[in-house]
Chains A and B, each alone.
Chain A
Amino acid sequence: LTRLSFLPPGAGQDVGRSCILVSIAGKNVMLDCGMHMGYNDDRRFPDFSYITQNGRLTDFLDCVIISHFHLDHCGALPYFSEMVGYDGPIYMTHPTKAICPILLEDYRKITVDKKGETNFFTSQMIKDCMKKVVAVHLHQTVQVDEELEIKAYYAGHVLGAAMFQIKVGCESVVYTGDYNMTPDRHLGAAWIDKCRPDLLITESTYATTIRDSKRCRERDFLKKVHETVERGGKVLIPVFALGRAQELCILLETFWERMNLKAPIYFSTGLTEKANHYYKLFITWTNQKIRKTFVQRNMFEFKHIKAFDRAFADNPGPMVVFATPGMLHAGQSLQIFRKWAGNEKNMVIMPGYCVQGTVGHKILSGQRKLEMEGRQILEVKMQVEYMSFSAHADAKGIMQLIRQAEPRNVLLVHGEAKKMEFLKQKIEQEFHVSCYMPANGETTTIFTNPSIPVDISLGLLKRETTIGLLPDAKKPKLMHGTLMMKDNSFRLVSPEQALKELGLAEHQLRFTCRVHIQDPRKEHETVLRVYNHLKGQDYSVQHLPDGSITVESILIQATAHSEDQGTKVLLVSWTYQDEELGSFLTSLLKKGLPQSTA
């Protein structure tokens, strides 16, 4: 009985600031190291003092695993490794390693340069932090140390997103990170094999949602864009730089290609260009269509999508513009929005959720007159559309993943408590496995029933299998052997070898038993009667010339009783191994011999 325990410093019953501590068979692993978007003070980073009250993190943690490049999963990494101090290995996939520093740098710029905060990590710290990163491939088993190994599975959430299996001995934990079970235009669906982990830690953002087919959404989106462009209107799509933006680009690009459209599509430059470069490189991480066609043309080498320039916004004629940031609260997207809002031919499409207080939220909730800075009133005549493109698994997807992996326990993180409650109940009901949903800072302990591997010598195995039939999955099989525990390893060896190794002499244990039989005849006649009697059974019975009988390896001898010649004494002797047969024979003989044999 061993123990797995979890401590979510962040992400327990909460979205954002993902950070989970797992201790499995004495190894401590930290899963993700995210920041919280909602806070600007100390609460934005997980509380690492939780983990160790005193002492260095490096001594306590065996490794850190980052599932993907979103800031709520990796935002606190430089702070954690450079400012708090951690020198151990950090594992992430190749695309994550490539894109992560871009986003961290961007985040740093906004916080330090724009908001003017101090006591924040520097560019150099990001670089130093990335030096500690070890990149892994999909399905590659990485040995962290002799016992701890990790393996990445495809998660489909964003480019390079992965689920990780952490394994020590035969105990294992799977951490999903964020994942998506339905493929989209640029990524495939999450997939895991039947690895039967002791615990599955899964996100549960959409614990209570079952989503409609993505095709309807895509079709609606394309139809709206197409109609507006045909009318000669301009379409503004505010996006965040990475993730969904690429999906929408691919979607529009292929649509333009298919329908032979000519209107220009622009993408506001910046970090996107750098990131797009990586999308082009990591073709193996994308979906089937892109992987199959990249030989002819890399889908991320956009033909119709060009870099945006400030001046283009005033150009006449239809166009589609992707601009950052996604919630229309500042920057280029807001500038363009102000320029275009007055024309009813134009359209803005919000592809994601908007936080309260942003312009995006206001227009989505139907406000038509907006107060901008400087007391200007902006009248919004353009059409406002909302399309949800989200890459998290919905309730069905989560259930599907659980079915694929067949875990023994499930733990829900990265979601709201109320929604988790529903999913928890469903999981317990459908799969009959226990399900946990710890709050931040709450430790959950799960007891596992690990199977312990035992080495068996080939000779012994072969010998045993030749005796019996083929091994059957349903019936346990009895084997004779000696279990040796020596320097932390278990071995099953044949008794002879065990004796030899231990330097002991072999002792034989024999049972003997005397059975008295009333038989006035001569000894050898009695023996003959016994022989005839036993021959009926289906054992190999032999009558030896020296007047004894062997049944298999059991010896039976008859002698006349020293006092009473009418009583014969049958001596039955068997070894310890034949106990079953021996006792059977004695009881048989005790019943007496049949009379009719004469």
Chain B
Amino acid sequence: MAAHLKKRVYEEFTKVVQQQHEDLSTKKLRLTKPSKSAALHVDLCKATSPADALQYLLQFTRKPVEVESVEGVVRILLEHYYKENDASVRLKIASLLGLLSKTAGFSPDCIMDDAINTLQNEKSHQVLAQLLDTLLVIGTKLTENPPVRMRLVEVACKHLTDSSHGVRNKCLQLIGCLGPVEKGLAKEGESQAAKDVQKIIGDHFNDQDPRVRTAAIKAMLQLHERGLKLHQAIYSQACKLLADDYEQVRSAAVQLIWVLSQLYPESIVPIPSSNEEIRLVDDAFGKICHMVSDGSWVVRVQAAKLLGSMQQVSSHFLEQTLDKKLMSDLRRKRTAHERAKELYSSGEFSSGRKWGDDAPKEEIDTGAVNLIESGACGAFVHGLEDEMYEVRIAAVEALCMLAQSSPSFAEKCLDFLVDMFNDEIEEVRLQSIHTMRKISNNITLREDQLDTVLAVLEDSSRDIREALHELLCCTNVSTKEGIHLALVELLKNLTKYPTDRESIWKCLKFLGSRHPTLVLPLVPELLSTHPFFDTPEPDMDDPAYIAVLVLIFNAAKSCPTMPALFSDHTFRHYAYLRDSLSHLVPPLRLPGRKLVSSPVSPTITPHEDPSQQFLHQSLERVYNLQHLDPQGIQELLEFTIRDLQRLGELQSELAGMADFTATYLRCQLLLIKALQEKLWNVAAPLYLKQNALASTAAKQILEETYKMEFMYSGVEGRQVVIIHHMRLQAKALQLIVTARTTRGVEPLFGMCEKFLQEVDSFQRCFISELPHMQGSFVDKLLDLMPRLVTSKPSEVVKILQTTLRQSTFLHLPLPEQLHRATANIIEPTGESDNPLRFTSGLVVALDVDATLEHVQDPQGTIKIQVLYPDGQAQLIHPKPTDFRNPGPGRHRLITQVYLSHTAWTEPCQIEVRLLLAYSSNRSKAKIPKSTWSESLEALPSSENGIEGTIPFSKPVKVYIMPKPARR
């Protein structure tokens, strides 16, 4: 339709020269198409030597081939293939065949016969392997065609006896990818070859070449992935492969064993060299554990990773993984963990250790010591002490997964995790802290463990400290000494690293609310109150004092007896903190003052459902009352918007939803207001200045729609349509306003055309949604499309104006979850009066620390803007590594911004803010990727690809002073 539309426009106004060029170029492109295969043919015939031919083929590969001409090109290639004597050229042709058959939209069944035929006479192993690869490509394209697949599998089976490993490799790969998966099909299959794919592949587990063995295992795994149920008999074969000489074989075998253990967890296997039997999953677990001390670290990583996902394993096997019997001179020795535990249970805490404290005690029977662990023994002990940090991380992850499913194991692995907090590599430390946090529901920390955990608070890495704060937020502490210890260490941390303030307060908030009874006996000591004497009032601005108060107030929330212990100034401080740090200090029922300090929130918070109802009701009201007089509609909209905004403020869970709808309604309101303007009734020249309102409204609506589309996470297709629809309306409005205010028709041609194009692309993008949009602007517009296309701009404008007025406004369906992206700059705080001085011409680094919530792909979209007083703006892309992800939907940006400027006479403020970049290309509709993507000549980026930024954080002012350089 677009082409048709375009043509009409050109017919009338032939001046538009630029467009014709475009047309020409496309025509040229078409002209060259048929000649492609011919050109290749000519080239190949010209080639005198194999090297020449290879050159031509290489050049040819660089250019894309259109779908229509693929078959022709393939024929020519095949023709040359038969003639060619040089193996390297044949190899290239074979690889080209594979590449060509990948072309989207081309169905390769027509060239399959030829490809299979070429196999017959081929002598070179390399070319054979390449041809099989091509067949694999063809086969994967024709997955819905069982006979073809069957045939290919047969071909592959035939070549399995080839002497070259490369050919056997490819054959196995082909069988793995195309082998029949359905049982029924395999039975009626005519040849015995395809009957039992598993057996054929299984036979190659003992191939002489390790690469073929690997390929066989991989093919088996591929079959499993495609849904074939592997036979249990393979298990014993796979177990033998674990002792293979080659690491890639062992690595693949570990995977296969894991797959089988998941398939047949409960079947029974015998233990060799004894007549006992155990469950298969236990046996497999033992075997994989054994591989954790393999010679190759690749295998160790693989094994450690897989251990984590074997949750059906019985608990005593699981607990063996942490078991390591120590001995010294043949006498049993206790591990440091056991000693620590004993010390703790005997009531003594951390005695000064003497030499020989760990002296071995009991004698052990030499026969009973098992030096080579059978099965699972000590697998994690080894994994966590491994040389390579990759293995250690994998082991920690596996521990985490297993501990999450087994509380008793979680308790046991605690000691080991705590030990990992002192690993030499930061990533490992961080990972183990995160792991601990994830399993913290199942565990209670002993005091000596807590001690070790807290020691890490002094770490100089901010990530580690913050991860540790998060961990402390959700740990259970068993004693009041533990709480005290934690508080002391946190305060120490606070004095050492004052920037951790926020995170420490938050940590103490949770610590308090989780352990009210443990905090209670500590209160007098913490507040340093005295039964007889008044103590001096502490400094209210001291972060350490605030930290203590946060702990106490949060504990007091569920411990009504606590406020009795407070002194007068504590109450005053409570009131102050409740106001200034309301997110950290909960409302308290204080004696004598009935909720004075917290008038708002407690009344609202208990009602959750009603507020949701309220949201829906108010929206319903708006959507239903369409036929009110314009005045009424406007008022209703205004009220609803106000309600929604208030609701969003009160109810943080609904904030995203409320904001989103409010924005939408505001757009609607603006549109209605703009259409209500008197200007439409007045003759054109008279309202030149009044149009300000309408055009700004249009602009504002456009901005708001971009915000709606990109600033909310959880927006779905249905919302996107409506947002785009709103945008279209805004553009129509813009067009009308321009038409009204400008004289002459010439500039309008372009605009009209552009608008119609947009309508067209809207229709293309959202064709499936159109039925839901009965009576809307676009619906009506599309009805009138034939008329619009033929009419002159002035008429177009007229039509638009009437449709815009008549159209109903669309119901905005709400998605399940909707969150508004927010950003908060923590640092710089913007409070400092001391300017940041630096020599002009040089740079100064400004630390920026911000939290982002509900931002999708922050690495790509977040930018930092620095505005200088002279209006100069600087846009900075933070490095991807500057983003951390502390939790789902949350991100943290910690980066440095480099500032520089010429000298100023006096200090001045610059503004720093975060921007959310968007481009409409990036929106939900994805462009299908071409297989020739690397050779793709830059697609004309879709005509309406608008890029822009949305400011979404409060700007922070920083005082800086570039001094003139002294010479």
Contacts and interface: CB of A to CB of B under 8 A. Distances in A.
Interface in A404-449: 404, 419, 422, 425-426, 430
A313 interface: no
B329 interface: yes
Interface string A262-305: 00000000000000000000000001110000000000000000
A430 B372 contact: yes
A452 interface: no
B245 interface: yes
B371 A396 contact: yes
Interface stretch (B313-321, B457-465, B633-641, B875-883): B457-465
Contact of A426 (B355, B371, B416): B371
Contact of A216 (B335, B372, B387, B424): B335
Contacts of B459: 258-259
B352 interface: yes
B336 A260 contact: no
Interface stretch (A21-29, A471-479, A485-493, A572-580): A471-479
Contacts of B371: 210, 395-396, 399, 426, 430
A219 B452 contact: yes
Nearest to A182: B385
Contacts of B355: 350, 364-366, 384-386
A474 B206 contact: yes
Interface stretch (A32-40, A68-76, A184-192): A184-192
A598 interface: no
Nearest to B390: A288
A191 B372 CA distance: 17
A288 B422 contact: no
Contacts of A223: 455
B337 interface: yes
B581 interface: no
A215 B419 contact: yes
A282 B167 CA distance: 44
B754 interface: no
B354 interface: yes
B354 A366 contact: yes
B326 A210 contact: yes
Given A288-B388, A419-B329, A469 B336 contact: no
B803 to A, nearest CB: 65
B336 A194 contact: no
A385 B353 contact: yes
A399 B385 CA distance: 17
Contact of B422 (A188, A218, A386, A470): A218
A371 interface: no
Given A211-B326, A399-B371, A470-B163, A185 B424 contact: yes
B325 interface: yes
B285 interface: no
A257 interface: yes
Contact of A287 (B245, B353, B387): B387
Given A215-B422, A219-B422, A430-B372, A470 B161 contact: yes
Contacts of A383: 352
B389 interface: yes
A289 B425 contact: yes
A345 B496 CA distance: 24
A44 interface: no
Interface residues of A, number: 59
Interface string B357-396: 0000000001001011000000001001111110000000
Contacts of B389: 288-289
Contacts of A185: 424
A500 interface: no
Interface string A206-226: 001111111111111011001
Nearest to B293: A400
B289 to A, nearest CB: 14
B850 interface: no
A89 interface: no
Given A193-B295, A399-B371, A216 B419 contact: yes
Contact of A215 (B245, B293, B324, B385): B385
A403 B372 contact: yes
Nearest to A194: B245
B799 interface: no
Contacts of B353: 220, 385
Nearest to B420: A215
Interface residues of B, number: 49
Nearest to A299: B424
A216 B459 CA distance: 18
Nearest to A219: B422
Contact of B366 (A219, A257, A422): A422
A226 B454 CA distance: 14
Interface string B594-605: 000000000000
B34 to A, nearest CB: 48
Interface string B398-415: 000000000000000000
A183 interface: yes
A465 interface: yes
A295 B869 CA distance: 41
A422 B325 contact: no
B330 interface: yes
A188 B458 contact: no
B328 interface: yes
Contacts of B326: 210-212
Contact of A259 (B206, B385, B460): B460
B273 to A, nearest CB: 11
Interface string B102-144: 0000000000000000000000000000000000000000000
Contacts of B460: 257-260
Contacts of B207: 470
A395 B388 CA distance: 22
Contacts of B345: none
B26 interface: no
B908 interface: no
A254 interface: yes
B327 interface: yes
A254 B424 contact: yes
A385 B728 CA distance: 79
Contacts of A395: 327, 371
Contact of A183 (B387, B422, B458): B387
Contacts of A469: 161
Central interface residue in B161, B372, B460, by most chain A CB within 10 Å: B372
Contacts of A210: 324-328, 333, 371
Nearest to B457: A259
B329 A216 contact: no
A172 to B, nearest CB: 16
22 contacts: A183-B387, A189-B387, A194-B245, A194-B295, A210-B325, A210-B327, A211-B326, A213-B335, A213-B381, A213-B384, A215-B385, A215-B420, A215-B422, A217-B336, A287-B387, A366-B354, A383-B352, A386-B354, A400-B293, A426-B371, A470-B208, A472-B208
Given A182-B385, A220-B336, 17 more contacts: A183-B386, A193-B295, A208-B327, A208-B329, A209-B328, A210-B333, A210-B371, A213-B384, A219-B452, A258-B459, A384-B355, A395-B371, A403-B372, A404-B295, A426-B369, A469-B161, A473-B208
Kindly list the 10 A-B residue pairs having the minimum CB-CB distance in the complex, ordered from nearest.
Answer: A216-B336, A386-B355, A183-B387, A215-B419, A259-B458, A189-B387, A260-B460, A208-B330, A399-B371, A364-B355
Interface of B: 161, 163, 206-208, 245, 293, 295, 324-330, 333, 335-337, 352-356, 366, 369, 371-372, 381, 384-389, 416, 419-420, 422-425, 452, 455, 458-461, 496
Interface of A: 182-183, 185, 188-189, 191-194, 208-220, 222-223, 226, 254, 257-260, 287-289, 350, 364-366, 383-386, 395-396, 399-400, 403-404, 419, 422, 425-426, 430, 465, 469-474
